[in-house]
Amino acid sequence: MAASSTALLTDHYELTMLTAALADGSAERRCTFEVFTRRLPNGRRFGVAAGLGRLLPAIEDFRFPAEQLDRLAAAGVIDARAADYLAGYRFAGDISAYAEGEPYFPYSPILSVTGSFAEAVVLETLVLSVLNHDSAIAAGAARMVVAAGDRPLIEMGSRRTHEQAALACARAAYLVGFSATSNLAAGACYGIPTTGTAAHAFTLLHDSERAAFAAQLDSLGLDTTLLVDTYDISRGIATAIEVAGPGLGAIRIDSGDLAVMAHQSRAQLDSLGATGTRIVVSGDLDEYAIAALAAAPVDSYGAGTAVVTGSGAPTAGLVYKLVEVDGRPVSKRSENKGSPGGAKLGYRRHRASGTATEELVVQQRAGFSPADGDRLLSVPVLRGGRPVAEVSLEQSRTAHRAAMTALPWEALKLSAGEPGLAVSFG
């Protein structure tokens, strides 16, 4: 596969459908596909749309070099007509989407793709693989941000996932409010602040904990974070302050009962005059563990495994379904897999106070008149295959924060329950 091509990041059946549609003349029928979920993962009250910033460049790179087409034709995946079509493939249709970071609910039309059947159908796998992954990571990470309140969160899950997935995970976590990542590639690609000091291996390398701390302080300065639980936390803290003095920036605790350790560590630090030394905790933290530490004297969190696994929900359950053909609504009616037909728009209804009350999913052709407080969520991102506007990751972070603030408190609870907003169809 050519280095810049994303065209083979797809499933075989996309090209068999394309081949058959080109053969019978239906390939040029104008169609709309929509991305939505029928249900949120168990226990979740909201989803978070993420991945659009990665998806749009991937669609731009969805092109078939000659060597790919030769291989597909030789394998019998496509015929000569399909090979000729794909040789000139460039997506030239329209895409509308929920903004990155926007919360969503069952049947929210978070992305719609309109174009000929031929140009839209082949994007299904690429669209879903990006959005399902990034939206799952973003939703789990957003719950951690809610649980953490005003305390910063650092994403540090690179060692627990695929090396390329690690970049997407860092991006999704930063989108929803994490303050930094440990992944240098994510910092280079997306401008995310990076951070990191030392692991237990650095302490074990030295002949004593004191020597390790002294070396780290000499290299990184007084504002560094010393990992104090390699041997004994209480002794580690005492040694850290003996070496650094009371102006040490922070200590990190990565094991044990973190709530108990945080209280004991705070008391010890204060008794040593290190009242400004911060306490960072890490160690398989998820949203529930973070919530349990709300009353503990913790200054920031490091989260890894739970971030890159979507905090137990590694896919968002999004689907890509044909909803309109030549202006006529079409819908699947399979048991437990039905979906409303017709191209749709998403709106969110709000009280005068700004609190969201309802998700409205309305037919584009229905002549819907928004009421005061209704916010249109489906916005153009591509028209005629060309970007409508560029939105930065920082802008998306700000928009996410505002949208989450508008959700009712029930939507933000960590306990299992119904989706945080009811969805109405019109």
Averaged pLDDT of the chain: 96
Residue 179 DSSP one-character state? -
pLDDT at 334 over 80: no
Helix/strand/coil for 322: strand
| pLDDT at site 3 | 52
Q: What is the mean pLDDT of residues 34-57?
A: 96
User: Which of 279-288, 316-325, 332-341 bottoms out in mean pLDDT, i.e. has the lowest?
Assistant: 332-341
Model confidence band, residue 46 (pLDDT cutoffs 50, 70, 90): very high
Helix (H) or strand (E) holding 97: strand 94-97
Express as a percent the part of the chain with pLDDT over 90: 94
Distance CA 118, CA 101 (A): 30
- pLDDT (tens digit per residue) in 188-240: 999 999 999 999 999 999 999 999 999 999 999 999 999 999 999 999 999 99
Express as a percent the part of the chain with pLDDT over 70: 99
| pLDDT at site 344 | 96
| pLDDT at site 39 | 95
How far from 298 is each of 37, 160, 336, CA to CA, in Å?
36, 24, 45
| pLDDT at site 2 | 42
pLDDT at 335 over 90: no
Q: Which of 161, 175, 99, 165 is nearest to 130 (CA)?
A: 165
Helix/strand/coil for 353: coil
Q: What is the mean pLDDT of residues 65-71?
A: 97
Q: Which two tokens stand for residue 91?
A: 């997506």
Query: Domain 149-310 classified CATH 3.10.450.50?
Result: no
- pLDDT (tens digit per residue) in 21-40: 999 999 999 999 999 999 99
- pLDDT (tens digit per residue) in 293-312: 999 999 999 999 999 999 99
- pLDDT (tens digit per residue) in 369-386: 999 999 999 999 999 999
Q: Domain residues of the chain, as ranges? A: 12-137+313-343+376-425, 149-310
| pLDDT at site 338 | 73
Q: What is the mean pLDDT of residues 111-137?
A: 98
pLDDT at 426 over 90: no
Cβ contact 122:10 at 8 Å: yes
- pLDDT (tens digit per residue) in 81-104: 999 999 999 999 999 999 999 999
- pLDDT (tens digit per residue) in 360-370: 999 988 788 99
12-137+313-343+376-425 adopts what CATH topology? nicotinate phosphoribosyltransferase (3.20.140)
Distance CA 149, CA 424 (A): 31
Distance CA 345, CA 96 (A): 9
